[in-house]
Amino acid sequence: MYAVIIAGGRGERFWPKSRAKTPKQTLKLMGRRSLIQETVSRIKSIVPSERIYVITNKEQLGSIRSDLPSIKNIIAEPAAKNTAAACGLAAMIIKKIDPQATMIVLPSDHLIKENGKFIDALMTGVKVAEASNGLVTIGVKPTFPATGYGYLRIDTSGQFRIKGPGLKAKVHRVLAFVEKPSLPNAVKFLKEKRYYWNSGMFIWKATSILDAIKENLPRLYLSLQLLEPSIGHFSFHGKLNSVYPNLEEISIDYGVLEKEQRIFAVEGKFYWDDLGSWDSLARHLVTDKDGNFTIGSHKKIETKDSVIVSEQGIIGTIGVSNIIVVREGDCVLVCSRDRAQDVKRLVGLMKEKKELKRYL
């Protein structure tokens, strides 16, 4: 069994703390360890360090290596090509080493509690992937009508069964992947009890995902095949640099999973959050009597339910509520908490201006 951690994202909704060389996954948002350090620690009981692979990019390679000195298999993509390419590359490398390998694919920057239940879900997924040759995802049972997550619609008419010891989690066939819903639809999904949150965590055999890429993304598969002879040789990085920038850019969800029939969801009963914004982070941390979450120095008068982050200097607030203020070096973010998702949009606007890119 192998683990692949996808760590090439920018975490743009956490700007200005998250930037090109200090992405969200390397930030210590929840304690003494960074999010990617927590991710690796979470799986070390079932996957040894030498079988953990991290897919990142050239900009972030230094910070990822610094965070994970015990992980030797860190691969820097020459260009950002989304998760289908990253999953295919990892599968191609792992298959060359172990043709029968099963892979656990994890995001690098999520919050997970109740680790025993998390491991139970992963090990159930491994059994299902090996028994079915299908593609397995971890679905988390919704606890509130979230509009910031994608959903899985499952077949509740029966559960997946295998011979031998019983599975430690429920397993259902996935009928559809559903985009982030409106609030009325999210409320409906919560009531219907046939939807899971799509956690973005997957389990499959290396051969199974490569076969699925070959079927659904044949151009991507043929390009990845060009890398196969050089895997394990000194020529690999040169070949990667020449092939990778021309790969098709598409997510594994859109490009493969939504088109496949043999998709299964393991129910994850652990606590999970993708920590998608400053607002979602604040849900998990201690606040003062007025509902304010603060990192750093903050003096306030009549300030309520706000997120204040500044590890340099001091921030003062008067007569405000439900706002986010984040200072990092030469950048300051101020926004309403209910617009926290739009920080990514703001970063997108800054990318369009050459003179502003140094702040990203």
Domain ranges of the chain: 2-276, 279-359
Cα-based torsion angle of the residue sequence 210, 211, 213, 214 in order, rounded to the nearest 10 degrees: 120
Structure tokens at 274: 């993708």
* pLDDT for 251: 94
In the predicted model, is pLDDT for residue 234 greater than 80? Answer: yes
Going by C-beta distance under 8 Å and a sequence separation of 6 or more, which residues neighbour residue 49? 70, 71, 72
Q: How does the average pLDDT of the chain come out, rounded?
A: 92
53 neighbors 75 (Cβ within 8 angstroms):
yes
Give per-residue pLDDT as tens, 278-334: 988 888 887 899 999 998 899 999 999 999 999 888 999 999 999 999 999 899 999
Distances (CA, A) of 184 to 147, 187, 190, 274: 9, 5, 10, 21
- DSSP H helices, 267-359, are 278-282, 343-351
Claim: this prediction has a pTM higher than 0.85? yes
In the predicted model, is pLDDT for residue 163 greater than 70? Answer: no
Query: What letter would DSSP give residue 99?
Result: T
Structure tokens at 64: 């990822």
Alpha carbons 103 and 97: distance in angstroms, whole number: 12
What superfamily does domain 2-276 belong to in CATH?
Answer: Spore Coat Polysaccharide Biosynthesis Protein SpsA; Chain A (3.90.550.10)
In the predicted model, is pLDDT for residue 162 greater than 70? Answer: no
First-to-final CA distance of the chain: 37
* pLDDT for 147: 86
Buried b (16+ CB within 10 A) or exposed e, 164-184: eeebbbbbbbbeebbeebeee
Average pLDDT over residues 7-36: 90
167 neighbors 136 (Cβ within 8 angstroms):
no
Proportion of the chain above pLDDT 90, given as a percent = 77
The SS3 call for residue 248 is coil
SS3 content of the chain, % helix, strand, coil (to 5): 40, 30, 35
Indicate the pLDDT class of residue 166, thresholds 50, 70 and 90: low
Cα-based torsion angle of the residue sequence 163, 169, 175, 181 in order, rounded to the nearest 10 degrees: -170
* pLDDT for 232: 86
Alpha carbons 13 and 7: distance in angstroms, whole number: 16
* Element housing 237 (H / E): helix 236-243
Rg (CA), the chain: 21
Burial class (CB in 10 A: 0-12, 13-18, 19+), 289: exposed
Average pLDDT over residues 107-127: 94
Structure tokens at 215: 């079927």
Indicate the pLDDT class of residue 73, thresholds 50, 70 and 90: very high
Alpha carbons 238 and 135: distance in angstroms, whole number: 31
* pLDDT for 285: 81
Going by C-beta distance under 8 Å and a sequence separation of 6 or more, which residues neighbour residue 45? 119
Structure tokens at 59: 């900009």
Alpha carbons 159 and 140: distance in angstroms, whole number: 16
Buried b (16+ CB within 10 A) or exposed e, 220-253: bbebbeebeebbeeeeeeebbeebbeebbebbbb
More reliable by pLDDT, 166 or 45: 45
* Dihedral sign (CA 162, 260, 79, 92): positive
